[in-house]
């Protein structure tokens, strides 16, 4: 398995089919907080997450869904969109609220990354809580070329997403039949992400708080519980997978 890392959706090359040398799997990461929230939503019983880069498109799709079976989750600049049911906190998606419902989601960065690799045959999302579960799924599927896509912040590099990219790649290497056999880095960005993971793997929350987006969240109010949730490693076995274009379900 050859794993390459692209630190924002803007850095992702044009998606070619596997026969033309493109990836057979893509992993989208937005640690603070979209892919953590997606994983916990599905863990807590949401029927599906339908992702949108554009709020107007979200509104149209949500309006066509039965009102009692839908929730709208919108985040811009780290804060909930006015009038929406949810923002982007993994603590808000409790079983009582999300169970059996479809969540129509749009965030500042994460949902744009999902759109960038929507055409890849296997598309999953990862965060620190489910990093080993995702790595295991990639190996079980026999993936040969994997793109990990960090969501960044409005086109800029993201420390916390790179940390999680290294965490996923490291887990894949650990799970391979022999250590580091059959799993290799496809670019220097992936090597750097692995080095970042080795530096911070025992203190992930400090890394998240030190990152520029972590500092941004701290400036918006008390997000201590969100930081703890997003920094937790290997607490979930859920793997969100694209079941149809733009729609993620538990697997």
Residue 55: both structure tokens together = 């709020």
Token digits of residue 117: 């690799």
Nearest to 227 by CA among 251, 210, 248: 210
Domain containing residue 73: CATH number: 3.90.1560.10
Cis, peptide link before residue 231, omega less than 30° from 0: no
Quick check: helix, strand or coil at residue 186?
coil
Full residue range of the structural domain in which residue 50 is found: 2-250
Mean per-residue pLDDT over the chain, rounded: 95
> For residue range 147-168, what is the model confidence (pLDDT) as tens digits?
999 998 878 899 999 999 999 9
Our count of domains for the chain comes to 1
Q: Is the pLDDT of residue 179 over 70?
A: no
Residue 70 near residue 127 (C-beta atoms within 8 A): no
State whether residue 149 is helix, strand or coil: strand
The pLDDT, as a whole number, for residue 153 is: 82
pTM assigned to the model: 0.95
The pLDDT of residue 110 is 77
Examine the pLDDT at 180 and tell me if it is beyond 60: no
């Amino acid at each position: 398995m050859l794993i390459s890392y692209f630190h924002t959706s803007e850095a992702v090359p044009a998606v070619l089919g596997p026969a033309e040398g493109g990836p057979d799997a893509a992993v989208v990461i937005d640690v603070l907080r979209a892919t953590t929230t997606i994983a916990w939503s599905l863990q807590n019983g949401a029927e599906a997450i339908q992702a949108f880069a554009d709020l107007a498109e979200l509104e149209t799709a949500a309006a066509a869904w039965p009102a009692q079976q839908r929730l709208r989750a919108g985040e811009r600049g780290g804060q909930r969109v006015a009038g929406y049911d949810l923002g982007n906190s993994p603590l808000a998606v409790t079983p009582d609220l999300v169970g059996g419902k479809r969540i129509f989601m749009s965030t500042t960065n994460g949902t744009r990354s999902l759109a960038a690799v929507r055409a890849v045959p296997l598309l999953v999302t990862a965060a620190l809580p489910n990093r080993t579960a995702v790595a295991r799924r990639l190996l079980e599927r026999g993936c040969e070329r994997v793109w990990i896509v960090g969501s960044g912040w409005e086109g800029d590099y993201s420390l916390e997403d790179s940390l999680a990219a290294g965490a996923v790649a490291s887990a894949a290497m650990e799970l391979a039949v022999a250590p580091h056999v059959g799993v290799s880095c496809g670019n220097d960005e992936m090597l750097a992400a692995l080095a970042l993971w080795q530096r911070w793997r025992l203190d992930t929350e400090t890394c998240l708080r030190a990152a520029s987006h972590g500092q941004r969240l701290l400036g918006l109010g008390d997000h201590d519980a969100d930081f703890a949730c997003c920094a937790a490693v290997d607490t979930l076995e859920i793997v969100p997978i694209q079941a149809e274009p733009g729609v993620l379900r538990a697997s």
